[in-house]
Amino acid sequence: MAGALLHGKAVDHQPGSATIRHWHEVAQLLYAISGVMRVITPLGQWIVPPNRGIWIPAGVWHEVFMIGLVEVRSIYIRPDAVQDLPRECCVLEITPLMRELILAAISIDYQEQPIRPRSQMIAQLLLNEVKTLTTLPMQLPMPDDELLREVCADILANPDENRTTEDWASQAGVDARTLQRRFNKVTGMTLGEWRRQARLLNALERLAQGERVIDVAFDCGYNSPSAFTAMFKRQFGITPSCFFS
């Protein structure tokens, strides 16, 4: 992409497919027109619903798992063009303007020489727009502590269970205060906060595939759909139905 600030690529992925673990020498903005992506990085995992995007800095290895048919549009950004852009992975709200800029960037012929002024203007506007996008709380940090990873694996496999911190501590062979202290030090979250986030991201993934709110709520350990909706709104600012509209 000599001379260009960025370039784009469009790839459609079949349900259940995944990329191999890889990294880029450039920053990447991954955006799905449709479908859901689960992105794994060294710091944890992110759920990326339709019309949201994930920013991946240069040099960060990642794997992408496709939930449903996923129409991915990727923007790769030259290292010297990422000043004032995110330095860590994050999920971004894609505005209507940003969506159109991404699609326009995908259609540009980056082999053309010299790069047309219009192409450069689209690229520059896209980079400026990234700076304005809202960051969404879609991360689930995964601890590198073996004891904590076992607890997290159990929670992910059984999101409907309502065991207490004391129950998890007993299973891990430590007292509850020790477990909480280790968990907070490694993840920056309490065990209860981590479990709530795990449940909500699991729910997001399933709702994006068209499952009913009532089924998702009970399967994720909530006593009622209204309790689930209230927690969802507290975390994301809107109800599940509005989130996917």
Question: Which parts of the chain register pLDDT below 70?
Answer: 1-3, 110-111, 245
Start-to-end CA span in the chain (Å): 36
> Cβ(192)–Cβ(168) under 8 Å?
no
pLDDT the model gives residue 28: 96
pLDDT of residue 68: 83
pLDDT of residue 245: 64
pLDDT at site 81: 84
Cβ atoms of 166 and 192 within 8 Å: the answer is no
**Domain annotation for the chain: domains and CATH numbers:** 6-136 (2.60.120.810), 143-243 (1.10.10.60)
| Cα separation, 76 vs 9, whole angstroms | 8
pLDDT the model gives residue 1: 45
pTM for this entry:
0.83
